[in-house]
Amino acid sequence: MSRRVKKPLAKRGPDGARGKPARAGLGAKTGKPGTGKAVAGKPGAGKPGGATPPRDAKPLRAGGPSKTSRGEGAGRPPRSGDKPIRFGAGPARSSRPVGEGRPRPAQPAPVETRERSEAKPDAPLPTKVETVTVTADENGMRVDRFLEARFPGLSFSHIQRIVRKGELRVNGKRADSKDRLEEGQSVRIPPLKLDTPKLPGHLSEAEQKTLQTLKAMTLFEDADVLVLNKPAGLAVQGGSGTTRHIDQMLEVLRDSKGQKPRLVHRIDKETAGCLLVAKTRFAATALTGSFRHRSARKIYWALVAGVPKPKQGRISTYLAKDESEEDSIMRVAKHGDDGASHAVTYYAVVETSGQKLAWVSLKPVTGRTHQLRAHMAHIGHAIVGDPKYFNIENWQLPGGLQNRLHLLARRIVIPHPRGGVIDVSAPLPPHMLQSWNLLGLEHDRFDPIEHAPEE
């Protein structure tokens, strides 16, 4: 009589249960509490004004992670020593990547605390021009990170200023803050200085007025993030002949350590609407990462000449900059042209005023200079009041409308650095509100571009 050999029992897990181990990444599909999926992005992300989206439209996943941000470990079998996943054991931690298979260990110290503890003692700032050599440890480091590492007390704005003005040179040539350094290169460093912290009680009368102006422009603010409603005509950064701009105004918001809020992105001088600002270095890193991974969503409103056909579409071109002594303009280029970058924009007609004008909602997937303005002109429906790209012959502005750029950065939806979602909308600026009222356009209507495809 043959004896039947029994298979060994499955190894007990830490909780005493036998059986197959839980699959890593399962929580990313279920969305149940405790799975690690960020749930804070759901409210209001795709239903402005409570309107019901079209049945055939794909909802815009404003608060969710981008495709490139999913955990790489999703679906792997657990390694030895892994604890089984206990679904529903507690609230979801929104800072945990979707698809992460293992429970996260105890929460580490805040990023800013780690940076302070790991930072080297502040090096003396050069009082005259110095030339230093890039070491092996600094090989591949970005120019701005190189300066931050060498001089920890140096402010971000000061670094950007000396790089933008060409005062910092690498092997005798101008450098960009994002350029990578190589071992052995010589870096010319100009005289540096620490920015003095300015407390509200020590601001001058002019600075107090600037502070009040910024407060009046504020749409959202907390300890890490500031969203401003930038008025049309106010530049974001300085340039030739520009003396007043947002970056300069932010000087009055320096904290007790001398850190100034940092611009996360830019919008054109004549464009009104949502402008995102990081108040801490931690927030700046997280928010710029969201833009880089395209998990930030931006919605623009514009008034254009004529009515685009079809009424919803996708514009995909390459754009390159043509520069002259007096001006610069973006042109549609071919793939492979010098300086050409791919640009993608979704558009949707919201409402029309006869066949003369149309209110369109725009969603840029990429973030090229003047992208929306160049794209709308490219399809023959330039934005009203655009001094650079409006070139339609024999077209007259309807009476009562101001000849100013009719473009608004209407809404921004982006993951908050510490969990949850920032979702802010800006009202129409005065000149656009006047045009909407004159044309009988209802600015509180459902915005169909909210449900455009993500790519």
Catalytic residues: 268
Report how far residue 452's alpha carbon sits from residue 315's, in angstroms, rounded to the nearest whole number.
Answer: 13
Cβ contacts of 193 within 8 Å, gap of 6 or more: 125, 158
**Other C-beta atoms lying within 10 Å of the C-beta of residue 319:** 22
Report how far residue 240's alpha carbon sits from residue 404's, in angstroms, rounded to the nearest whole number.
Answer: 21
* Both tokens assigned to 78: 């657990």
∠ CA 225-230-236, rounded to 5°:
85
Report how far residue 252's alpha carbon sits from residue 199's, in angstroms, rounded to the nearest whole number.
Answer: 8
Q: What is residue 245's three-state secondary structure? A: strand
Question: Residue 168 carries which side chain, given as an amino acid letter?
Answer: L
Question: Residue 336 carries which side chain, given as an amino acid letter?
Answer: G
**Other C-beta atoms lying within 10 Å of the C-beta of residue 369:** 15
Residue with tokens 């200085």: 193
Q: What DSSP designation does 235 have?
A: B
Q: What is residue 288's three-state secondary structure? A: helix
Strands 407-415 and 341-353: unpaired
* Both tokens assigned to 126: 């050069």
Report how far residue 295's alpha carbon sits from residue 342's, in angstroms, rounded to the nearest whole number.
Answer: 18
Angle (deg, nearest 10), helices 111-118 and 281-292: 110
Q: What is residue 59's three-state secondary structure? A: coil
Q: What is residue 430's three-state secondary structure? A: helix
What is the per-residue DSSP string for 132-153?
EE--GGGTT-BHHHHHHHH-TT
